[in-house]
Amino acid sequence: MSGRASHFDAAGKARMVDVSPKPQSVRTARARAFVRMSRATLRALGENPKGNPLEVARIAGIQAAKRTSELIPLCHPLMLTHAGVEMTLKRDGVLIEATAATTAQTGVEMEALTAASVAALTVYDMTKGLDRDITIERIELLEKTGGRSGTWRRQARKKGARKP
């Protein structure tokens, strides 16, 4: 870390970072979240009276990515060229992976993280009547590309670490 708080001015006031001097580049990000639930709840997903929770969550995540700057005060509004959410059923929950892309002067990490988070919240909302023990875990950035810092990828977890 640089030790510099770029979202604060010299007087300590919050500010939006001025990215106007930065060149535009293609930027992508990939994030995930995990919704832990019982196997019985997983089996009941297709019979949910509210509709298909995974499809509703996919659309909610995409919509959230597009509205990130309305939710996170200092995020720049971005013209996304892609926003996607995919879900995979695991034996103990739903793994959500969100992607975002743009050509801009700033990255799309927050858009991917917001998409994964809102998709996870939507799965929770649509299944909480079946299982009050559902948890949302490990919302994390997996990868980002583009910009001055280039590509960054999350390192693999150490052996024995809990993973979704």
Residues annotated catalytic, as ranges:
125
Residue 149, phi then psi, degrees to nearest 5? -85, -5
- Under 8 Å between Cβ of 31 and 129: no
Residues in the chain: 164
Cβ distance 98 to 112 under 8 Å? yes
Residue 81's closest CA among 63, 66, 64, 61? 66
Compute CA distances 24 → 46, 110, 128, whole Å: 43, 17, 42
